Amino acid sequence: MTSRRPIIVWGASGHALVVADILHLRNEFHILGFLDDIDRQHKGKRFCNSTVLGGREQLDLLFSEGVRHFIIGIGDCAARTRLAEIVKQKGFSLETAIHPQAVIASDAVLGAGTVISAGAVISPRVEIGENVIVNTSASVDHECVIANGVHLSPGVRLSGRVTVGCGSWIGIGAIVKENIRIGANSIVGAGAVVLNDIPDNVVAYGSPAQVIRRNQ
């Protein structure tokens, strides 16, 4: 039996719990530890049957010790994208985490660092970029294109041929009609029903969804 490869999860809060559970279920990696830049008091504490090793100051040491595999366990899109770039620049590989109870079409494309949670459904000819979260029971229908750093919250429903731009966050239970484009760095609120395109850098919510303000 091949030994499991060591991996570091960057994050030590809610989404990191989900990522760690998926990694345990897949049994392909051994979680060597977690990083946490937010609460430095976490260093040395137990988390998900492992230990919080510290923050980004640990990266060079981990690389020198032969660690090569990382995954970002942070829900915030901008932070996740930023930390993923740091990890890649340091020479680490970003790994995917796919829950065994997710349904993934055979021709779907998933980028490095992406997390697919329990109950998610990814349909044929879907393209998903790097460091995307398809959260619990979200569904992505045929021919959707999901750019880097997107977070599809639990229960999101994307119809066919939807495009979501880099770094956008679609809130829990939102529904998006077919052939819609959601721009980059935008937020679609919980429970929204999106019937028209959403531009870049805005916050939109409601049924039907309306642009409320710029996303600062």
**E-only strand ranges, 93-198:** 93-94, 97-98, 103-104, 109-110, 115-116, 121-122, 127-128, 133-134, 139-140, 145-146, 151-152, 157-158, 163-164, 169-170, 175-176, 181-182, 187-188, 193-194
Separation of alpha carbons 110 and 44, rounded Å: 33
**Alpha helices by DSSP H, 27-176:** 59-64, 77-89
Rg of the chain's alpha carbons, rounded to an integer? 17
Write out the catalytic residue numbers.
142
